[in-house]
Amino acid sequence: MPRDFAGIADLCQRIYPDTPPWNAEQLSSHLRLFPDGQFVAVHGADQKVVGMSASLIIDWEDYNLLENWEQFTAEGMFTNHDPQRGRTLYGAEVIVDPTLQHHGIGDKIYAARRALTESHRLLRIRAGSRLRGYSNAASRQKPEEYVVAVVEGLEHDPTLSFQLKEGFHVLAVVPHYLSDDPESLGYAAVIEWLNPKLIRAEHLANRPTRFIRRAEARAKGISV
């Protein structure tokens, strides 16, 4: 709702102090184009914004797997929202107040996204997982090596590790997903969650397997 815009901007600035926050024009566009896809978590008597997510529906065939955030979101305006042809919910943003992390806010937001995907009969959720911990590992690991280590539980990434626990699978690693991001050095993992109510064998046939956990791959007879 428009009453939450200032709270969203404040939350963004506390999490991304060097990046312009979502502005009223962008947030208004999201609500106009796809109100069902926008979630806000509030807390306390003053209804302080402590979490938010922004999503749109896209036709994945219109995009390259390695596109950047600006291309997937039409510069944050979501004017590429395509509910007629699209079968993919694209997760453009999820943020939670850092002082209230580990209180289940992120779990509830992701549960709401999964429920939205099922209710709209979409095939999947895809998103770019900003590799927030990569800058600490860049001197010893390539981005793909870092993601494999996170998948195997050998490294912890504040964003990707949480999303893996939420049932996502890594498809690829994208350079230059976000510009001017010192934590990720611009890198993100393309992640996917498949709607269990609609998934069929053909949807899994060409799914990349490089980033599946080795133990899981062996159990399924997959070569990685």
pLDDT for res 83: 97
Burial label, 46 (beta-carbon count in 10 A; 0-12, 13-18, 19+): exposed
H/E run at residue 31: helix 24-33
pLDDT of the residue at 198: 92
Same domain, 176 and 212: yes
Token pair of 157 as six digits: 């990434």
| pTM score, whole prediction | 0.91
Distance CA 199, CA 211 (A): 20
Question: What range does the domain containing 158 cover?
Answer: 130-224
Q: What does the pLDDT look like over 134-186, one tens digit per residue?
A: 999 999 999 999 999 999 999 999 999 999 999 999 999 999 998 888 899 99
Q: What is the pLDDT of residue 199?
A: 85
Residue 222, Cβ neighbours under 10 Å: how many? 12
107 shares its domain with 157: no
pLDDT at residue 223 in the model: 54
Statement to judge: residues 83 and 16 lie in one domain? yes
Q: Where is the domain boundary, 122, 151, 186?
A: 122
**Co-location of 107 and 148 in the same domain:** no
Contacts of 56 (CB under 8 A, 6+ apart): 30, 33, 34, 37, 73, 78, 80, 81, 89, 90, 92
* Listed residues 83, 105, 122: the one ending a domain: 122
Q: Is there a single domain that holds both residue 6 and residue 115?
A: yes
Give the pLDDT of residue 5: 95
Domain total for the chain? 2
Q: Are residues 87 and 164 in the same domain?
A: no
Model pLDDT for residues 115-128, shown as the tens digit of each residue: 999 999 999 999 99
Last residue of a domain, which of 93, 122, 151?
122
36 and 138 in a single domain? The answer is no
Q: Which amino acid is at 55?
A: S
Please tell me whether residues 92 and 185 are part of one structural domain.
no
**Sites in the chain below the pLDDT cut of 70:** 213-224
Give residue 137's pLDDT.
94
